Amino acid sequence: MRRLGISKVGLWRRGVDAAIFHPSFRSDAMRQEMTQGNPDETVLLYVGRLSLEKQIEHIRPVLEQAPNTRLVLVGDGPARDSLERQFEGLPVTFMGYLSGQRLSQAYASADIFVFPSRLETFGLVVIEAMASGLPVAAARVGGVADIVSEGVNGYTFASGDVAALLAAVDEMASNRQKRAWMGEQARAYAETQSWEAIMDEVIELYAGLIAARHPQPVAV
């Protein structure tokens, strides 16, 4: 827009529902279901479409090399059959499409959100996971770089860099205290991205535009 000569440009950011996605939805029953009866293991969560561009198969080496980790896939899509074959014999649970409270519980009942997608725009599921109290390990594409603070609420890696993905997960999985702190930081950041906070920014922007158009008279 600026290249077209429009000088007054503001950014209306997308928000997240920080009440629906919240750590309070953590559920022992959901964790039992997601882990197939192994709740003490580190639960890696992916939420989204099961398709080739998401590069979900890149998580396989993590399961093979990081001890006591399990993967939970929430969502459906054309790559599901292929993924079921690729992950056969590994601790992976396909939950299918979830919505409402069960989706909120799935987010909050995991430990680390993993997102190796090579194509992304805003990365809504990443901010939903953070609102649920999860630190993230995500490919540095789209809006992810603007959301994740390295070593604070998660880690990013170049798309396709499986070694970096493994290192990020290992760093968080091996230190429960640090992981909990990062989850708190993730939640704190997500609260600044709630729809309430975003709409306050929009209202402030409009108020500034109105004030500039109709300046108050100066008393003499």
We report the CATH number of the domain holding residue 179 as 3.40.50.2000
Query: In this structure, are strands 69-74 and 112-115 parallel, antiparallel, or unpaired?
Result: unpaired
In this structure, of 48-57, 116-125, 130-139, 147-156, the range with the lowest mean pLDDT score is 116-125
Examine residue 163 and state whether it is found in any structural domain, yes or no: yes
Residue 4 domain-assigned (yes or no): no
Could you give the CA distance from residue 215 to residue 147 in angstroms, rounded to a whole number? 36
Identity (one letter) of the amino acid at 107? Y
Q: What is the mean pLDDT of residues 73-97?
A: 96
> For residue 118, what pLDDT band results from cuts at 50, 70 and 90?
confident
Distances (CA, A) of 152 to 23, 148, 212: 18, 8, 39
| Residue 10, domain member (yes or no) | no
What's 121's DSSP letter?
S
Angle ∠(174,59,79) on CA atoms, nearest 5:
155
Report if residue 7 sits inside a domain: no
Contact yes or no for 52/77 (Cβ under 8 A) = no
As a whole number, the mean pLDDT across the chain is 92
Which pLDDT score, from 0 to 100, does residue 218 have?
A: 61
pLDDT class for 22, splitting at 50, 70, 90?
very high
- The count of structural domains within the chain is 1
Q: Is residue 16 a part of any domain in this protein?
A: no
Is residue 220 predicted with pLDDT exceeding 70? no
Amino acid symbol at 95: M
- Residue 87 included in any domain: yes
**Rounded Cα distance, 175 and 191, in Å:** 25
pLDDT at 121: 66
Angle at 28 between CA 30 and CA 112, to 5 degrees: 70
**Token code pair at residue 151:** 């070593």
Residue 146 counted as domain residue:
yes
Residue 198 lies in a domain: yes
Q: Tell me which residue range forms the domain holding 174.
A: 23-213
